């Protein structure tokens, strides 16, 4: 018998099943559970860069590194009007090497403030 400190008497009471213990499974199950439990805010069209920073922080905390998974998570949070702006990406995401980065660039470009708007905000700042 193997030297794992389990005697034949200890294993006799175990049911005879086809289930094999894989000690790599529990961390994978825990990771899948963590991915399922992630709570992300809905899209903020007034602050797309801030929204992406927020969800990327959550992705890091939950160890979500796959661009495809990040894309799917972000896409699920978009309202219809935002989806319409990226409909070609939604319909053909497999055509893009990194659909998450493409989605991020398009949404921050469409909803983000222009350099002129940012400059005007700086000039209107009371501390200047």
Express each pLDDT in 89-112 by its tens digit. Answer: 999 878 888 999 999 999 999 987
| Neighbouring residues of 49: CB distance < 8 A, sequence distance ≥ 6 | 108, 112
Q: What count of residues does the chain have?
A: 128
Domain locations in the chain as residue ranges: 43-122
Output 15-22 pairs: Cβ under 8 A, ≥24 positions apart.
none
Whether the predicted pLDDT of 114 surpasses 70 = no
The model's pTM: 0.63
pLDDT, residue 63, reads 92
Percentage of the residues of the chain whose pLDDT score is greater than 70 = 62
Distance CA 112, CA 2 (A): 63
């Amino acid at each position: 018998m193997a030297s794992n400190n389990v005697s034949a008497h200890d294993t006799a009471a175990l049911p005879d099943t086809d289930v094999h213990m894989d000690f790599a499974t529990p961390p994978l199950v825990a990771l899948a559970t963590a991915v399922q439990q992630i709570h992300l805010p809905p899209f903020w069209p007034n602050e797309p860069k801030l929204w992406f920073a927020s969800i990327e922080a959550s992705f890091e905390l939950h160890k979500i590194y796959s661009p495809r998974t990040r894309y799917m998570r972000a896409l699920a949070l978009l309202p219809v009007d935002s989806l319409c702006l990226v409909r070609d990406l939604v319909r053909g995401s497999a055509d893009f090497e990194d659909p998450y980065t493409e989605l991020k660039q398009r949404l921050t470009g469409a909803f983000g403030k222009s350099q002129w708007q940012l400059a005007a905000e700086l000039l209107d700042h009371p501390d200047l």
